[in-house]
Structure formats: structure tokens, C-alpha cells
Amino acid sequence: MSDAKPQTRIQAKNRAAILAAGLDAFSQFGFRGTTLDQIAEAAGLSKPNLLYYFRSKDAIYTALLERLLDTWLDPMRAMDDAGDPVEEIITYARRKLEMSRDFPRESRLFATEILQGAPHIADHLSGDLRALVDAKAVVIRGWIAAGKIAPVDPHHLIFSIWSLTQHYADFDVQVRAVLGKDDWFEDADAHLDTLLRARLRP
């Protein structure tokens, strides 16, 4: 079977179980260290049954990354061109920070793919991701031209937000070790708010 959308409740349940098991395995062992047998066992399915939904390990991995990239783009899509510019950018940063808190495995999986040269999602990065970032850069330039925020390079502002938020997922062990506690979100959110307001205030 191809990776087409399942048509029944059982198919949807099995597909979700495979993706969840794949996320656990890939996040822990990486792409090379993960086997279809591991994923099938964790999903509670036989290997032939798994292959009914996904034709290969690569197909599971790519499906996870594509779903993740789409989820990652949602906060940027939600930025309101007609909203208050400073608040829209800070809200975007906060949503990204929340994703680092709530989806650390997904973030680390994505980071690993990027560090390896993005062999599975290069087309998505130069396609959907680039198009969305370029569109929001136009909006940010408009806000700057209207005097609503301080001059800033839109692309590097977005890169900075990615760095400042995804760090908490990708380097979670280091963050918790240095802080000596697990609960970092409120302090990080307050710091990010202060930092961005000071930089963006016209």
C-alpha cells in the first residue's frame, strides 16, 4: 500500500501507532540505528502489517518529518498581518517556545535531519518553508517602513527566534543541568519577551 490517507478507523489507528513508534525510535536511535522490526514491535503490529501502511523505513521517517515541518510552520502562518507588529512577533516566539517545551523529541528529530544535510526534506525547506518565510519577511519590512517596529533584517530576526526557542528542546539536557531544574519555560518566556520588546520597539 502507498502512504495514502487511511480510510477506516482501524487504519487510522494503526498508522498513528506506527508514526508514534517511529518517532520514539528515530529520536532515540537515529535513522540508521532504527529498524522496521523495532517500529513494528513498538506499534504492536507485524512487520508485514506495518509495510501495508508504509513501504519502507525511509517512508515512515519522511512522513514524520513532513508532518513535523507542517506543524512547525503553523505558528508562523498564524502571524496576523493586521495585528500589532510587536505583539505578533512576540506571540510567534512564544508559540515556538511552547513547541520546544511540548514537542522536544520532534524538535531534536528535525535538528538531526538538518545537521545531516536535510536529505529527506530539502525540497520542502527550499519550497514551502522558504515561501512562507519570504512572505512574512515582506510583512515585517512593511511594519518597518510604517515605523511600527525598529529596523531589523526580517530573515535574521526569524532565524534568531528559531535559535532562541528551539535551543530549549535540542539542548534540553544541557539547559536542565545548568539551571538545576526542569521547569524553564516561564523564565525563558519572560526573557524572550523582554529581549524582543527592547529590540523591536521603534
SS3 assignment for the chain: CCCCCCCCHHHHHHHHHHHHHHHHHHHHHHHHHCCHHHHHHHHCCCHHHHHHHCCCHHHHHHHHHHHHHHHHHHHHHCCCCCCCHHHHHHHHHHHHHHHHHHCHHHHHHHHHHHHCCCCCCHHHHHHHHHHHHHHHHHHHHHHHHCCCCCCCCHHHHHHHHHHHHHHHHHCHHHHHHHHCCCCCHHHHHHHHHHHHHHHHCC
Mean pLDDT calculated for residue range 64-83 = 91
143-166 tens-digit pLDDT? 999 999 999 999 999 999 999 999
Contact 168, 175 (CB under 8 A): yes
- 0.75 cut: is pTM over it? yes
Average pLDDT, the chain: 92
Is pLDDT of 2 > 50? Answer: no
pLDDT at res. 143:
98
Which of 56-60, 69-73, 79-83, 128-132 is predicted with the least confidence, judged by mean pLDDT? 69-73
pLDDT band of 188, cuts 50, 70, 90: very high
Please list, in sequence order, all residues whose beta carbon lies within 8 angstroms of the beta carbon of residue 13, skipping any fewer than 6 positions away. Answer: none
